[in-house]
C-alpha cells in the first residue's frame, strides 16, 4: 500500500538517467540502439520503414515502424511495468514517442483517410485479462494524431496458441482465419490507410494475418506502429 502511494505521489523519473518528468527521457531514448529505418521483410535499409517494392509480394503490410529493441534492459523493464502493473503514464510516454515516429515517417495529409486499430483479444481471454494494453496505447495515439480509433472493427474469432512455441507451418495454420472484420464495418475499409498499434512483436505472422484481412477488404495501406521488437 505504501509503495503504491509512493508511486502515485512520486514524480515521473527516467528509468535510465533518473531525470524527472518522463519515464524515458528523449535523450536516453535517442541513445538507446533505436531501430534503423529498415524494411521489416528483408531487414535491409529502407526509407521511412517502407517495405521494399520487391519485398511486397510476400506480405500484406506496407510499413512497420519500430521504436526500439526489446533486448534493451530499460525498454523491457518499462514494458513489463506497463503491462503488469498497468502504469498508465508509461504508455502515455510510449504513445507520444510512437506518434512522433509516425509523423517523421509518413507523408500525412488528411486525417479522414486514416483509421487506428490494435490487435484484438479473443473474447474469453479478454474476460480473464480485462484489459488490452495495446488498446490503451492506441487511445493515446488517437488523441495525439486526431485519427479515429476503431474498437470494434477487427475481432478475434477464435483462440490461437502462443506463436513462439510452434513451427513455421503450425504458425500459419494457427492464425488462419482467426481475425475477422465486423460485418457492419466492412464498408468503411475501402481505400483507407490503417495504423495498427502493438506493444511488442516477436513474429511477423500476426502482423501479416491482420494486414491480410484488411487488404482483402480493400484497405489501401497498412502501417504498423510498434514499441519494441526482438
The verdict on 31 binding Zn ion (CB under 5 A) reads no
All cell numbers assigned to 133: 494494453
The verdict on 207 binding Zn ion (CB under 5 A) reads no
Residue selected from 17, 26, 172, 186 as contacting Zn ion according to rule CB under 5 A: 17
CA atoms within 13 A on the CB side of 181: 21
How many residues touch Zn ion under the rule CB under 5 A: the total is: 11
Of 15 and 70, nearer to Zn ion (C-beta) is: 15
In three-state secondary structure terms, 228 is strand
The verdict on 153 binding Zn ion (CB under 5 A) reads no
Residue selected from 34, 37, 55, 76 as contacting Zn ion according to rule CB under 5 A: 55
All cell numbers assigned to 186: 466492412
Q: Write down how long the chain is.
A: 230
The verdict on 14 binding Zn ion (CB under 5 A) reads yes
CA angle 97, 98, 102 (to 5 degrees): 120
CB 14 to Zn ion: min, Å:
3
CB 2 to Zn ion: min, Å:
26
Residue selected from 26, 31, 42, 172 as contacting Zn ion according to rule CB under 5 A: 42
Region from 52-60, 106-114, 134-142, 194-202 binding Zn ion, contact rule CB under 5 A: 52-60
CA distances from 105 to 51, 145, 161 (A): 12, 14, 33
Secondary structure in 3-state letters for 44-80: CECHHHECCHHHHHHCCCCEEEEEEECCCHHHHHHHH
Binding-site ranges for Zn ion (CB under 5 A): 14, 16-17, 19, 25, 28, 39, 41-42, 52, 55
Amino acid at each position: 500500500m505504501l509503495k503504491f502511494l509512493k508511486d502515485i505521489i512520486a514524480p515521473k523519473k527516467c528509468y535510465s538517467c533518473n531525470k524527472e518528468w518522463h519515464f524515458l527521457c528523449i535523450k536516453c531514448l535517442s541513445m538507446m540502439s533505436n531501430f534503423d529505418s529498415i524494411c521489416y521483410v528483408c531487414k535491409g535499409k529502407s526509407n521511412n520503414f517502407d517495405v521494399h517494392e520487391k519485398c511486397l509480394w510476400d506480405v500484406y503490410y506496407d510499413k512497420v515502424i519500430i521504436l526500439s529493441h526489446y533486448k534493451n534492459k530499460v525498454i523491457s523493464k518499462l514494458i513489463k511495468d506497463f503491462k503488469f502493473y498497468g502504469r498508465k503514464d508509461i504508455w502515455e510516454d510510449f504513445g507520444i514517442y510512437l506518434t512522433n515516429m509516425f509523423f517523421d515517417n509518413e507523408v500525412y495529409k488528411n486525417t479522414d483517410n486514416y483509421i487506428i486499430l490494435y490487435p484484438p483479444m479473443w473474447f474469453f481471454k479478454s474476460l480473464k485479462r480485462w484489459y488490452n494494453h495495446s488498446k490503451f496505447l492506441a487511445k493515446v495515439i488517437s488523441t495525439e494524431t486526431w485519427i479515429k480509433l476503431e474498437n470494434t472493427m477487427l475481432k478475434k474469432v477464435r483462440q490461437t496458441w502462443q506463436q513462439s512455441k510452434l513451427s513455421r507451418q503450425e504458425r500459419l495454420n494457427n492464425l488462419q482465419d482467426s481475425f475477422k472484420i465486423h460485418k457492419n464495418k466492412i464498408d468503411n475499409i475501402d481505400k483507407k490507410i490503417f495504423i495498427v498499434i502493438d506493444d511488442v512483436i516477436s513474429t511477423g505472422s500476426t502482423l501479416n494475418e491482420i494486414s491480410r484481412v484488411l487488404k482483402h477488404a480493400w484497405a489501401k495501406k497498412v502501417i504498423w506502429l510498434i514499441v519494441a521488437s526482438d
